[in-house]
Structure 1
Amino acid sequence: MPDSLHVKVSNEKVGTILLENNEYIFDYTTDNQDAFVSLSMPVRVKSYANPKLHPIFEMHLPEGYLLSIIKKHFSKITKTDDFGLLQLMAHSIKGRLTYEADKTQEESTLSLDTLLHPKSETLFDELVSRFALDSPISGVQPKVLVKVRDKVTLPLQEYIVKSWGDEYPHLALNEFYCMKVVKCAGIEVPEFYLSDDNKLFIMKRFDIKDDGNYLGFEDMCVLQARQADEKYEGSYEHIAKSIKTFVSPKYKKKALRDFFKMMVINTLVQNGDAHLKNFGMLYENIHDIWLAPAYDVVCTTLYIQKDIPALHLLESKKWWSKAFLLRFGKESCELSTSETRVLYDECVEALRITAHEMKERIEIENDLHVKAFLSSLMEAFERENQ
């Protein structure tokens, strides 16, 4: 018998994915056109066959650090190929799209205060041991999905908690201040925090509504029908095209403005990891689709001195000039000359304000390593702001 999983959308069983003869096959078992598993996979009678796991299902698989931890613990007792991983993680995948699977362990929770005010230097390792199998999140950086309950009467919240290794010192500080630039520029961001010991970057999951129900979320790899290992292929023009293709008309202008500002900020802070999986869309239904909040913004040139952008823009893969970015805003984001200049200036001002905040913190910071890192990050900001 081939390996198979039943797939649900908003708790309604809609289809089955199976691995047969080295081919992944997804079949809809519903004719409800609103019960699509992906914006790029509408409900139809014909099977969706693929030599690799379909991008919408692959999106839930762990990468990098988490993948290595899970393989280390489970490779002796179960298959850890893509389908084996999907079966292993299926019970923990919560969202608009879920799977019919047996829960293998009791749900573990903790308080947000525990994350913000760590009392143990090994807190992240403890989180990994408790939440690794409940963390269906992609990305190579050490991270886990943690369930938080601060008050019994409130719905359970979920936060992505990131740490960093020796090769990327103070990555939590880096992301915290880069995300502050994004927020200051008026771009929507998830709720985010930095732990007291500066070791953890904590970000609230942004696809859960206030009533506890889930929105649909798809990253650009899924929307462009690419596998995860193709996340560095393509261009920012292709992302702009996907926005114009999928985003609902009432949100399209804002989405293109925000995407343009994201491109300016990624250039100003020199974020060389703004790949396809770091942009996405949220939706209620096929008629209500918008650009997801900005996430995963860091200055990568502090670790890789000659780092370059993740994708091409105007057939170039280098840090672009203001004139280059303004041209992109007009040609790909459908903005006027005056709009591009105003939005660009808003990003520069956000960088200046954040650099000033960092300078104030440096003056009172007691940890010499933190002080030195913040000084380097501030210098990078100020260099790009000139």
Structure 2
Amino acid sequence: MKSSSAVPLSLSLPLSARRYTGYEAMPFFEGLLPEDDVREAVARQFHVSAMRPMELIRVLGKDCAGDVVILEEGDSCDLPGEAAYVPLPNTLEEIVRYPYGAIAQLRAEYRLSLAGGQEKIALFHDDRAPLDKGWFAPLAGAPSSHIIKPQIADRFPLLASNEFICMEAARAMGFEVPETAIVLGEHPLFIVRRYDREMMEGS
């Protein structure tokens, strides 16, 4: 189907009338998936092979980086409404205390995941509430608004704090950076507003 508003998925996949092969398209889709230990954990949770990226995309593709949604044949592509969110009253408290367990449970129950080698979860925050409240799990492809990264990597014990400091230093130097926050506790959390999501007026 042709569209005057069509845009390419990436520079490596320009608009074309021909169908791209798996070899040509796979690097783009691999870039949407978790890496290393996180990838293995996701694969175990969903009982798929970590060596089969399209199996992982099938279960995780409804809220990818950028403005991309990946659906199976027959899935609805209707935009989700406000009702497609589940309130999570103790989200941050649980992640601070038990980051691996809390994120694994959220990921398994709501099929939420993000690319990269660092454990993280994408959620929606109601900005009318304080940061420790008003968190929701998006359902059926509903967009998330924030990414939460706990400080749990043994190799980089100050990773969340370092990322927050670097972002705020860049802001102080005049660079345009997303809104960030740090939540202290047993496992500090780095929270960043998604720059690839934009709230529309009236939403």
TM-score by length of 2: 0.70
Cα distance, 1:65–1:200 mapped onto 2, change above 3 Å: farther
Letter matched to residue 126 of structure 2: R
SS in 2 for 1:66: helix
Structure possessing the higher radius of gyration over alpha carbons: 1
Paired amino acid for 2:148:
V
- 2:174 aligned counterpart, secondary structure: coil
1:53 and 1:43 map into 2 onto residues whose CA distance is 12
In structure 2, the gaps of 5 or more residues are: 77-83, 130-141
Aligned residue number for residue 146 of structure 1: 123
Which one of the candidate residues 143, 147, 151 is aligned to 1:160?
147
Q: 2:23 aligns with which of 45, 51, 54?
A: 51
Percent identical pairs in the alignment equals: 25
One-letter amino acid of the structure 2 residue matched with residue 129 of structure 1: Q
Match of 1:190 in 2: 178
* SS of equivalent to 2:164: helix
Superposed CA deviations along residues 120-139 of structure 1, whole A, max 9, x for unmatched, are: 6215531331136312x211
- Please name the residue that 1:127 is paired with: 103
Secondary structure of the 1:160 match is: strand
Tell me the SS of whatever aligns to 1:147.
strand
In structure 2, distance between residues paired with 1:156 and 1:91: 9
What CA distance in whole angstroms lies between the structure 1 residues aligned with 2:146 and 2:59? 21
**Residue of structure 2 in register with 1:96 after alignment:** 67
The AA in structure 2 aligned to 1:43 is L
**After superposition, what is the alpha-carbon deviation per residue over 1:326-360, rounded to whole angstroms, capped at 9, x for unaligned?**
xxxxxxxxxxxxxxxxxxxxxxxxxxxxxxxxxxx
SS, match of residue 100 in structure 1: coil
State the alpha-carbon separation in 2 of the partners of residues 209 and 124 from structure 1: 29
Question: Any idea what SS the aligned residue of 1:54 has?
Answer: helix
**Residue identity in the other structure for 1:168:** F
What TM-score, normalized to structure 1?
Answer: 0.39
**AA partner of residue 177 (structure 2):** V
Q: Which of the pair has the greater relative contact order for Cα pairs under 8 Å at 6+ separation?
A: 2
Tell me, in whole angstroms, the C-alpha distance in 2 between the residues paired with 1:120 and 1:82.
30
Shift of 1:50: 4.0
Deviation at 1:39, TM superposition (A): 4.3
Describe the superposition over 1:196-242 as per-residue Cα deviations: whole angstroms up to 9, x where unpaired.
Answer: 22611111111111218xxxxxxxxxxxxxxxxxxxxxxxxxxxxxx
Match of 1:203 in 2: 192
Shift of 1:191: 0.8
CA-atom RMSD in angstroms: 3.3
Aligned length: 175
In structure 1, the partner of 2:7 is 36
CA distance in structure 1 between the aligned counterparts of 2:55 and 2:24, rounded to whole angstroms: 13
Deviation of 1:37 after TM superposition, in Å, equals 3.6
Describe the SS at the equivalent of 1:146: strand
